Amino acid sequence: MHALKLHTLTLAEQLADLAVDALIDEADLSPKPALVDRRGNGAHNDLHLGLMHASALSLWPAFKEMAEAAIELGEVGLPLREALGRIGREGEQAMLITTQGVNTHRGAIWALGLLVAATALDPTSRNASAVSLRAARLALLNDRYAPQPLSHGVQVAQRYGARGAREEAQLGFPSVLQRGLPQLHASRAQQHGEQNARLDALLAIMTQLADTCVLYRAGTNGLQAMQLGAQAVLDAGGSASLAGRRRLNELDQQLLALNASPGGAADLLAACLFIDRIESCDGAF
């Protein structure tokens, strides 16, 4: 008889699995306002759900390598920050090859990459605030090899003073810790169902976020529509209520009319789902 050979996943492989799962769960969640989901392409003409899935899967090796770098280097410091920058840029290239040049997950590589590395640094200390504090300390370090492209985020920073993804990470992901996660837990506690709880978490993130994707495409009017509209859904009872669903549909229509896609909020929902999983596992991930 042949012995069955089981491959036990390494910590780095488990963390890469969780990061990719979080991206796939975010993409599949429906109905998200103006974002790609199971219903369609939202405000995007170059994206679709299959591409979001393929993009998420293409990032698995990068997340695994980021976790391995954290395990090997063992502490928050410039060597790890610069290793993450290099691996992140390679991950972006893999993503762009998979999507034929469409930016699907740039912000997610940044947020989840930092969180994966922060978890790998000390998997015994995995509550949301400890992990995001380590991620913030990494984000505060200056990667000497980072190119300085005139990204949409940089253009929005020049135009409106919003600092976007970089600042969100440097502050320890306040949109996730103070908005998304508490709402996810509250909606679950009210038995709203997992999909509605996740939608509510996304909306809670949208109520406060300076999403540079929305600002770039639709300016401050778009950002205000996103923030107020998301708050209106939650005030009406959230995604599980009939009144909340009506408001959610209105928000979807309004953002589509403005061509405003909250891609930054979507990435932060993935970060929120990742932290939620990390926190809720007591043994191996």
Ligand X SMILES: Nc1ncnc2[nH]cnc12
Residues that bind ligand X (CB under 6 A): 26-27, 35-36, 42, 44, 47, 52, 105, 108, 261, 263, 266-267
Per CB under 6 A, 85 contacts ligand LTSJ6FE6: yes
**Cα–Cα distance measured from residue 158 to residue 177, given in angstroms and rounded to the nearest whole number:** 27
Per CB under 6 A, 131 contacts ligand LTSJ6FE6: no
CA distances from 233 to 13, 25, 103, 135 (A): 38, 21, 29, 31
43, amino acid identity: A
Identify which of residues 33 and 238 has a Cβ nearer to ligand X in the complex.
33
Taking CB within 5 to 8 Å according to partner kind, which of ligand X, ligand LTSJ6FE6, none is near residue 113? ligand LTSJ6FE6
CA distances from 27 to 22, 34, 108, 266 (A): 9, 12, 12, 8
Alpha-carbon dihedral of residues 185, 186, 191, 195, nearest 10 degrees?
-60
Per CB under 6 A, 55 contacts ligand LTSJ6FE6: no
238, amino acid identity: G
Identify which of residues 26 and 276 has a Cβ nearer to ligand X in the complex.
26
Per CB under 6 A, 63 contacts ligand LTSJ6FE6: no
Alpha-carbon dihedral of residues 35, 22, 205, 66, nearest 10 degrees?
-110
Per CB under 6 A, 84 contacts ligand LTSJ6FE6: yes
Identify which of residues 44 and 134 has a Cβ nearer to ligand X in the complex.
44
**Cα–Cα distance measured from residue 282 to residue 238, given in angstroms and rounded to the nearest whole number:** 30
Q: How far is the CB of 149 from ligand X (least distance, A)?
A: 18
Among 48, 53, 152, 188, binds ligand LTSJ6FE6 (CB under 6 A): 152
| Residue 249 structure tokens | 């549909």
| Residue 36 structure tokens | 């790609």
| Residue 82 structure tokens | 């610069």
Residues of this chain, 196-225, that bind ligand LTSJ6FE6 according to CB under 6 A? 209-213, 216-217
Identify which of residues 212 and 239 has a Cβ nearer to ligand LTSJ6FE6 in the complex.
212
Residues of this chain, 241-280, that bind ligand LTSJ6FE6 according to CB under 6 A? 263-264, 267-268
